């Protein structure tokens, strides 16, 4: 057998490698969903370290808004909170401690009200209270006409809540108030029976509603007023929890296009919103739909670019709108735009999510599988409900 000195040298080199420098590294494993969640939460921790506060989900700064939406999504999931406990170096996921005594409660008086109790009663710096005649904005409840026509709807909603097909969810803003929706104010369910022609007051577009309450009363309040009451009382929306694939496509005569638009606005607040897209449906051509976009508040008073379109068959527009709003509810843009007449108009159906994820959602809508998914801003992906 021929002696190989090179082989002997290699064997000796390997034998002397006590530090493992010649060991083959392990192949990196693909990141898991938990890895992505931990990495996403690390960005929230970094934001807190830099700014000394948690990110806001309501700011127009896209980077902070994205982190804020992630934090909201994480806090809404007990499982995610448990998985991230060891990474929560700023206590962002810890429940607020309940004061154990009155002294402890007063010690937390960050507004200084306890030091100046007379300040609680001082209204000299507040604006004068308007009378009901000032602008006609005060709406009173009166006995509902033909209440029996609405009673069955309230009965059905309560039955759906008991069965779990409907649920009480957080009120998401004025733009979510439209005809046919149910809300709960101070424990009383109400139904938006009608949205009337907008009333222009002080340059603002203010739609008047016909709101029917389950106690047999009704009120002709402004949409803005209903939103304010829902915010003030911690009101809730009655939201569908399930929808079958058959319900998405049970209207054989409805055909058209699902489309995705990107805003070409030069406004700095809009330009700063990365991954801002409008998702819509039209029975005609998309080009005809967006004609004159720069004159419409629906399109943020600016031209738009078509980035995706899908030919769709047997889609009910009402079911489609419900699905899109449900799937992307956490990242829906709540914006008000001033139109050419100087009137403030709500711009809806704009969402902040990566385009590939929106494409995936639209494909799942067409196939009917979307009913099992929701967008999670914490991992920036569609996840099973």
Is the distance from CB of 20 to CB of 26 less than 8 angstroms? no
Q: How many CB atoms lie within 10 A of CB 75?
A: 14
Q: In whole angstroms, what is the distance from residue 323 CA to residue 317 CA?
A: 10
Q: Which helix H or strand E contains 228, and what residues bound it?
A: helix 223-232
Chain segment 34-79, per-residue pLDDT in tens: 888 898 899 999 999 998 899 887 776 767 877 888 888 888 888 8
Q: In whole angstroms, what is the distance from residue 29 CA to residue 27 CA?
A: 6
Is residue 127 predicted with pLDDT exceeding 80?
no
Coil, helix or strand at residue 193: strand
* pLDDT value of position 183: 93
The mean pLDDT of 295-310, rounded to a whole number, is: 88
* pLDDT value of position 226: 92
Which ranges in 233-375 belong to alpha helices (H)?
Answer: 245-248, 268-271, 286-289, 317-327, 355-367
Is the distance from CB of 234 to CB of 320 less than 8 angstroms? no
The mean pLDDT of 261-288, rounded to a whole number, is: 89
Query: Where is average pLDDT lowest: 4-18, 202-216, 217-231?
Result: 4-18
Is the distance from CB of 277 to CB of 350 less than 8 angstroms? yes
pTM listed for this prediction: 0.41
Q: In whole angstroms, what is the distance from residue 300 CA to residue 303 CA?
A: 8
Is the distance from CB of 382 to CB of 327 less than 8 angstroms? yes
* pLDDT value of position 248: 46
Q: In whole angstroms, what is the distance from residue 39 CA to residue 47 CA?
A: 13
Query: Where is average pLDDT lowest: 9-13, 29-33, 157-161?
Result: 9-13
If phi over 0 gives left and psi between -120 and 50 gives alpha, with beta otherwise, what is residue 187?
left
* pLDDT value of position 255: 59
* pLDDT value of position 195: 81
Is residue 124 predicted with pLDDT exceeding 60?
no
* pLDDT value of position 307: 92
* pLDDT value of position 242: 57
Which tokens belong to 53? 């506060």
pLDDT tier at 245, thresholds 50, 70, 90:
very low
* pLDDT value of position 73: 83
- Highest-confidence range of 88-97, 237-246, 285-294, by mean pLDDT? 285-294
Is the distance from CB of 248 to CB of 316 less than 8 angstroms? yes
Q: In whole angstroms, what is the distance from residue 87 CA to residue 93 CA?
A: 10
Instruction: Please report, in angstroms and rounded to a whole number, the separation of the first and last CA atoms in the chain.
Output: 68
Coil, helix or strand at residue 225: helix
pLDDT tier at 305, thresholds 50, 70, 90:
very high
pLDDT tier at 135, thresholds 50, 70, 90:
very low
* pLDDT value of position 254: 45
Is the distance from CB of 252 to CB of 261 less than 8 angstroms? no
Is the distance from CB of 355 to CB of 260 less than 8 angstroms? yes
Q: In whole angstroms, what is the distance from residue 164 CA to residue 144 CA?
A: 29
* pLDDT value of position 172: 79
* pLDDT value of position 283: 79
Is residue 360 predicted with pLDDT exceeding 60?
yes
pLDDT tier at 23, thresholds 50, 70, 90:
low
Q: Residue 351's beta-bridge partner residues?
A: 277, 332
Which residue, among 377, 363, 374, 369, has the nearest Cα to 260 in the 3D structure? Answer: 363
């Amino acid at each position: 057998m021929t002696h190989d000195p090179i082989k002997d040298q290699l064997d000796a080199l390997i034998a002397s490698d006590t530090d493992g420098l010649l060991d083959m590294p392990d192949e990196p494993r693909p990141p898991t969903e938990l890895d992505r969640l931990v990495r996403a939460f690390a960005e929230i921790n970094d934001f807190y370290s830099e700014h000394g506060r948690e990110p806001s989900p309501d700011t127009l700064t896209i980077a902070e808004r994205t982190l804020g939406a992630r934090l909201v999504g994480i806090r809404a999931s007990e499982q995610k909170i448990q998985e991230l406990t060891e990474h929560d170096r700023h206590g962002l996921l810890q429940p607020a401690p309940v004061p154990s005594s009155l002294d402890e409660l007063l010690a937390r008086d960050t507004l200084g009200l306890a030091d100046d109790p007379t300040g609680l009663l001082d209204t000299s710096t507040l604006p004068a209270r308007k009378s009901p005649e000032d602008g006609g904005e005060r709406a009173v409840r009166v006995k509902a006409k033909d209440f029996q026509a609405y009673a069955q709807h309230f009965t059905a909603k309560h039955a759906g809540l008991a069965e779990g097909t409907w649920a009480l969810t957080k009120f998401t803003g004025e733009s979510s108030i439209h005809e046919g929706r149910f809300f709960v104010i101070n424990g009383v369910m109400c139904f938006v029976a009608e949205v009337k022609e907008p009333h222009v007051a002080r340059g603002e577009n203010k739609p008047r509603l016909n709101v029917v309450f389950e106690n047999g009363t009704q009120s002709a309040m402004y949409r803005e007023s209903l939103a304010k009451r829902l915010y003030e009382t911690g009101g809730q929306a009655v939201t569908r929890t399930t929808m079958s694939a058959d319900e998405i496509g049970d209207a054989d005569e409805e055909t058209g296009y699902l489309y995705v638009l990107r805003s070409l606005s030069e406004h700095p607040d809009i330009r700063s919103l990365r991954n801002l897209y409008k998702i819509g449906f039209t029975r005609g051509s998309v080009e005809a739909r967006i004609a004159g976009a720069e004159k419409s508040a629906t399109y943020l008073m600016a031209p738009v670019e078509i980035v995706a379109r899908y030919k769709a068959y047997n889609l009910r527009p009402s079911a489609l709108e419900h699905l899109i709003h449900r799937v992307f509810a956490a990242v829906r843009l709540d914006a008000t735009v001033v139109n050419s007449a100087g009137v403030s108009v709500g711009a809806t159906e704009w969402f902040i999510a990566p385009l590939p994820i929106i494409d995936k959602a639209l494909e799942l809508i067409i196939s009917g599988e979307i009913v099992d998914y929701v967008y999670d801003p914490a991992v920036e992906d569609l996840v099973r409900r």
